Chains A and B, each alone.
Chain A
Amino acid sequence: MDSLDVKQKKINKEYQDYANSLSPKSKVFKNCMMAFIVGGLICTIGQLINNLAKIYYGMNKEEASTITSITLIFIAALLTGLGLYEKIGKRAGAGSIVPITGFSNSIVAPAMEHKREGYVLGVGAKLFSIAGPVLVYGISTSVIVGLINYFFVK
């Protein structure tokens, strides 16, 4: 039995290697460039909003940051609702996932998807199905960093 398993494992390994060799690789360079351009563009828009808030509305640094986040989140949510963010994401990849707009997209998309199962068990329960892991590990990391800062820095 063991020898059969070994034989099957060898067949599997050979097959998997061959299957992987057939599969074309994702276009890493092109994807990186697109991510760089789109991600950079989103951040530039954010900077623009930030500067406008400071220069024309006389906001301080903190207020301007808050209004920038709110505006970007709103725009991404709107684009998600109109079905456009998905189209941007298809081309931009990480470029539209990493900035705060990607977070907005990952909350609005399940909200739209699960509306039909009701507001409590649908939207409510599934709202963070994608953003949840980001929150869990983001908050956990910030707690750890905070503790390190409290005990060891200064």
Chain B
Amino acid sequence: MSKHRMGGQTLYLTQNPPKIISRASIVGKKEGEGPLAEYFDKIIEDDLWGEKSWEKAERRMLIETAELTLRKAKMEPRDINYLFGGDLLDQIVTATFAARSLGIPFYGLYGACSSMTQTMSLAAPLIDGGYADNVLCVTSSHFCSAERQFRYPLEMGVQRPPTAQWTVTGAGGVLLSSDGKGPCITHVTTGKVIDFGIKDTNYMGAAMAPAAADTIRAHFEDTGRGPNDYDLIVTGDLAKYGRKLTIDLLKKDGYDIEDRFIDCGCEIFYESQDVHAGASGCACSAVVLAGYLLRKMEDGEINRILMASTGALHSIITSQQGDSIPGIAHAVAIEKKG
């Protein structure tokens, strides 16, 4: 039995818990008009950002976010042992093309919108175990590139149901290091793929909520902690109805998290911005973490959070063939020490 495991799904990082020494976020125009605008490093002026396609614009956002994250820590790509990245596009092309530019040893990861904490979940034990000193974790999504891949062409005049979500245009990155100053990642709880049979691709919050609830519950059971041990419990992109479902599912298990539970999908946009249930996408939890949450930790307003990005692991083909939407959530506990 490994010394560093707690319960069935959690790692306890005790030897040299990785510190988040740098962070950066770039977002689109609409996100820049939302309530968190002041927390982002850069707001791009339009969806194309001077590039020939949305895919290229997304790629550039990811590359610039990575470079900015490094610059803030006064590091070069050669100082970084691993780059972990993910995005929503087929064959995770945004992350791989970004890795081509950056020239850092790379693992591309697909966890749909759970990518942010998925990358951190794998980077953190590498550092704690002494296998790496600096690992860069980046993820991105783009409303236009996601919309055309998963739904309709943008110019199609179609109505969206009230439970639909709006993919965040943006990229977020964090640099984990064995050395330096910043909040530590102390626990990693790996999620299981959970599927309660939701098939509606316009109701992703409901598809992912059982996974979020399962991972948070597993974290509490494994660590012996409870909601009161955290200042904030954060999920990725469950949006309005998914958030409510998660609260209710956890209540059934005896955990009341409602008073300290936020969902990134409910934070990025104002209701007046016509995004229906809320935001989604890899960038959703990435920019809220890298922009807003870590800044609040720096300012000392919050000291310990449990962050669980959530992902819907379906494809267009599986959905068209009538399969339900499997969900996943990976949690990391982030704590400000000293």
Contacts and interface: CB of A to CB of B under 8 A. Distances in A.
B154 A86 contact: yes
Given A18-B248, A89-B159, A12 B196 contact: yes
Interface in A47-91: 80-81, 83, 85-90
Interface in B139-170: 148, 152-163
A18 B209 CA distance: 12
Given A19-B245, A23-B203, 17 more contacts: A12-B197, A13-B197, A16-B196, A16-B198, A19-B206, A19-B241, A22-B244, A22-B245, A23-B163, A24-B163, A31-B159, A86-B157, A89-B156, A90-B159, A102-B157, A109-B152, A109-B154
B245 A23 contact: no
A11 B249 CA distance: 11
A65 B244 CA distance: 53
Contacts of A92: 157
Contacts of B74: none
Interface residues of A, number: 37
A25 B202 CA distance: 13
A87 B300 CA distance: 44
A37 B156 CA distance: 20
24 contacts: A15-B196, A16-B196, A16-B197, A18-B245, A22-B206, A23-B162, A23-B163, A24-B162, A24-B163, A83-B155, A86-B154, A86-B155, A86-B156, A87-B157, A89-B156, A90-B160, A93-B159, A97-B157, A105-B157, A106-B156, A110-B156, A112-B153, A116-B52, A130-B156
B171 to A, nearest CB: 21
A64 B157 CA distance: 27
B147 to A, nearest CB: 9
Interface of A: 11-13, 15-16, 18-19, 22-26, 31, 80-81, 83, 85-90, 92-93, 96-97, 102, 105-106, 108-110, 112-114, 116, 130
Given A18-B248, A23-B162, A105 B196 contact: no
B211 to A, nearest CB: 12
A96 B152 CA distance: 16
A31 B209 CA distance: 29
Contact of A96 (B53, B148, B157, B160): B157
Interface residues of B, number: 26
Contact of A113 (B155, B162, B241): B155
A113 B148 contact: yes
Contacts of A113: 148, 153-155
Contact of B155 (A26, A85, A97): A85
B210 interface: yes
A27 to B, nearest CB: 9
Interface in B35-87: 52-53
Contacts, number: 87
A130 B53 CA distance: 21
B148 A89 contact: no
Contacts of A130: 152-153, 156
Contacts of B196: 11-12, 15-16
Contacts of B197: 12-13, 15-16
A8 to B, nearest CB: 9
A130 to B, nearest CB: 7
A22 B155 contact: no
Interface in B187-226: 196-198, 203, 206, 209-210
Contacts of B209: 19
Interface string B224-261: 00000000000000000100110010000000000000
Nearest to B210: A15
4 pairs of A and B residues whose beta carbons are closest in the complex: A89-B157, A113-B153, A109-B155, A19-B206
Contacts of B53: 116
Contacts of A86: 154-157
A19 B203 contact: yes
A126 B53 CA distance: 17
Contacts of A26: 159, 161-162
Nearest to B144: A113
Nearest to A25: B162
Contacts of B203: 19, 23
Contacts of A105: 155-157
Contacts of B158: 89-90, 97
B162 A19 contact: no
